[in-house]
Structure 1
Amino acid sequence: MSETLTDRYDAGVAAGTIDDDPVQREALPAFERIREELAKPQKGGLFRKAPPPPKGLYLWGGVGRGKSMLMDLFVDTLDVPARRVHFHAFMQEVQKGVHAERQKGTDDPIKPVAKRVSDEVKVFAFDEMQITDIADAMIVGRLFERLIGAGCVVVTTSNRPPDDLYKDGLNRHLFLPFIEVLKENLEVKELAAERDYRQDRLQGTDTYFSPNDAEARAAIEAVWERLSGGREEPLTLTVQGRTLELARFSNGVARARFYDLCGKMLGPADYLKLAETVRVLILEDVPRLGRGNFNEAKRFVTLIDALYEARTRLIVSAAATPDYLYVEGPGAFEFERTASRLMEMQAEGWGA
């Protein structure tokens, strides 16, 4: 008999890599139901239709409750082709495919894109489903209908229930049928765990490292390993026709260097999109700021404002402490507010 989700979970608890949580255990049967159905022999043939795929799963709950970890366990126990991908990254891939089909004059550009991905994969495991982009909202309903119609099983995690997806979004009434597709084809289950394990992994950990020396770099690397678990992928954000690319992303945690975000022609819309997409940002190599890099300093102020308002957790390595980052030059007085916010964002529990 193949290994069950409970077997994997118990092994993680025994090894000390998983904290035993009764609420997480309650979610295991929902995953196990799907795994068992997929493991059964498929008896379809020339005169007999293959059985319909098992109902998928929509697991939602607060940040850091273990949703992604449970989904990873699930995917690792499957014996069928599966793809585990961050939902936003997948939608960026779909948008590119749809654009390419439109360039070729395809009448229904979603159809060939959906066929390509469904031909290769039996189970789609989407992490952190959220809809913030009107382009995604207009595509995702028809895309999912085609994936499910092709016999694919969809498992997804989200920070909010289906009825709250794309809440207050532009033309949301056009999006509502997709919510019904989700509820009809996926079991909706809340993971109401009390502990925020992502915050726990940062508890007692410094979040601002200065000066930016070898010791700081080693500390940042250790934090990244703890939060990413060794898994990472690129993330591309599309904002007003522009793209913002983050080379390192994992489970809602992004890692970037100062000049990746503040040395380019980015503005408030880019930083707002970043802040609403990631839950933790690791920002490395922040230099001293002043006259010589005034434009970069202004972008840094805008970035911190966006992260602060979104209550995004921030981990920084910098050339100096917040109050000594910007001590001379135009805007030094105004930077005091940014320094104050940087210090506030180091507080235990920030972003909870």
Structure 2
Amino acid sequence: MTNLRTQYDRMIAEGTLRPDAAQEALMPEFDRIRDALLQPVKKGLFRKAPEPPKGLYLWGGVGRGKSMLMDMFVNNLDGIPARRVHFHAFMQEIHAAMHEARKTGVDDAIAPVAKAVSSSVRLLAFDEMQITDITDAMIVGRLFEALFADGVVVITTSNRIPDDLYKHGLNRDLFVPFIEMIKQKMVVHELASPTDYRQDRLSGSPSYFTPVNAESREAMNAVWKDLAGGEAGPLTLRVKGRDVILPMFRNGVGRARFHALCGQPLGAADYLAIAEAVKVLMLDDIPSLGRTNFNEAKRFVTLIDALYEAQVQLICSAAAEPEMLYLEGEGTFEFERTASRLREMQSDDWSKA
């Protein structure tokens, strides 16, 4: 089993990474958790299991390497049951499992669901902890209390300090004990690197590929591989009681074809949820727009507005340049603003704040 520092140094020597003092300062925290997890779990009537180590709440700006370091750590925990999952996707799984548990007539659906999670892993690694939904806010405290009680160690990344989780949310006073639990059970560490590595990778690189052909698809795939890395899966967002699915998601980067987001009956709330969930959206195969696909064009305008207001990086392939996408039919004049925004979103300094 290779420790994180050894792998980190090797990647620097290979030129894959650049030395970063803020990232290097985190190594003792990961080593602390790793060393504790490597200790054998004592079993028997009179043998008390060792106290689990404190987890790690890793927060900081976009592109500082939080997810990368966490992934490196989890991928080298050979033999230690661990799972890495996007926090929003995990909470969707919890909701579904609680729904099934209630069918059995249990009084407390959280207890069996938490037990099922804790029996399968010793470490949970969450990417992008954020609480925006009142239902999640009401569940997460009791869920994590049960997981911590069962000795599960939690590592999570977030763009927010714990005190800013669910900020201004409905009934937030009921959520505050969870914040205090995080501070008690996890080491809170800011990754204060001055470098936004994601923006560095995007700087000077095209973000709008046209026309849609084999060459542009290959270029999109290359960007996806560079930004997302590793195996991706769908992200399901619960919006007003409905599931909105982003087909591919990893490390804050989402990807979908135009039809998946604009050919479906989605609205502003759905696109706002997507903009909240991703830092970068890759949108493939935007067609020419006009009378024949007017509804899709309207949804596309709404999507771009949501991404623009949230300052989400957009990388896309399209049938034509922004000014030539919508040339005839109702809405041509209104689309001029969308074309202007598409141009602005291609600038090097466009990123999610």
TM-score in terms of structure 1 length: 0.98
SS of 1:334's equivalent in the other structure is helix
Taking the aligned partners of 1:346 and 1:129, their CA distance within structure 2 comes to 28
Deviation, structure 1 residue 109: 0.4
CA shift at 1:44, angstroms? Answer: 4.4
| Counterpart for residue 106 of structure 2 | 106
CA distance in 1, matches of 2:272, 2:42: 50
- Secondary structure of 1:275's counterpart equals helix
Q: Give the structure 2 partner of residue 281 of structure 1.
A: 281
Secondary structure of 1:330's partner?
A: coil
**In the aligned structure 2, how far is the partner of 1:62 from the partner of 1:181?**
23
Task: Describe how 1:290-305 pairs up with structure 2 within 5 A.
Answer: 290-305=290-305
Query: Partner amino acid for 2:212?
Result: N
Question: Paired residue for 1:72?
Answer: 71
SS in structure 2 at match of 1:120: coil
Aligned residue pair count? 351
Show the counterpart of 1:53.
52
Equivalent AA in structure 2 for residue 259 of structure 1: H
**Structure 1 unmatched ranges of 5 or more:** none
Q: d(CA) in 2 for partners of 1:103 and 1:263? A: 35
Output the amino acid matched with 1:88.
H
Q: Secondary structure at the match of 2:26?
A: helix
The residue aligned with 2:331 is: 331
Aligned equivalents of 1:94, 1:322: Cα separation in 2: 41
Q: In angstroms, what is the RMSD of aligned CA positions?
A: 1.0
Q: Say whether residues 1:248 and 2:248 are aligned partners.
A: yes
Q: Distance in 1 between matches of 2:90 and 2:19?
A: 31
* Deviation of the 1:181 alpha carbon: 0.7
Large movers: runs of 4+ above 6 Å: none
CA–CA distance in structure 2, aligned partners of residues 190 and 252 of structure 1 = 18
Alpha-carbon distance, 1:46 to partner: 2.4
Give the match's secondary structure for 1:307.
Answer: helix
Q: Structure 1's 230 and 4: CA in aligned 2 closer, same or farther, altered over 3 A?
A: closer
2:148 corresponds to: 148
Partner AA of 1:246 in structure 2: L
Equivalent residue, structure 2, for 1:162: 162
SS at match of 1:68: helix
What is the deviation of 1:170?
Answer: 1.2
- Paired amino acid for 2:252: G
Query: Partner letter of residue 5 of structure 1?
Result: L
- Whichever residue aligns with residue 144 of structure 1, its letter is F
Identity of aligned residues (%): 64
Structure 1: distance between partners of 2:104 and 2:268: 34
CA contact (8 A) 1:44 1:51 kept: no
Q: Distance in 2 between matches of 1:42 and 1:239?
A: 41
Quick one: which amino acid aligns to residue 57 of structure 1? L
Rounded to whole Å, the distance in 2 between the matches of 1:24 and 1:63 is 14
Question: What TM-score does the superposition give when structure 2 sets the normalisation length?
Answer: 0.98
Q: CA deviation at 1:102?
A: 2.3
Q: Which stretch of the first structure deviates more once superposed, 205-214 or 69-78?
A: 69-78
1:131 aligns with 2:139: no
Cα shift readout 1:282-319 (whole Å, capped 9, x = no counterpart): 00110111010000000000000000000000001000
What amino acid maps onto 2:271 in structure 1? Y
Matched, 1:202 2:195: no
Which whole-Å CA distance do the structure 2 matches of 1:316 and 1:7 have between them? 37
Equivalent residues of 1:54, 1:153 under 8 A apart: yes
| Structure 1: distance between partners of 2:282 and 2:347 | 16
CA distance, structure 1, for counterparts of residue 167 and residue 104 of structure 2: 34
Cα distance, 1:20 vs structure 2: 1.3
CA distance in 2, matches of 1:319, 1:10: 44
Unaligned runs of 5+ in 2: none
Q: CA deviation at 1:105?
A: 2.6
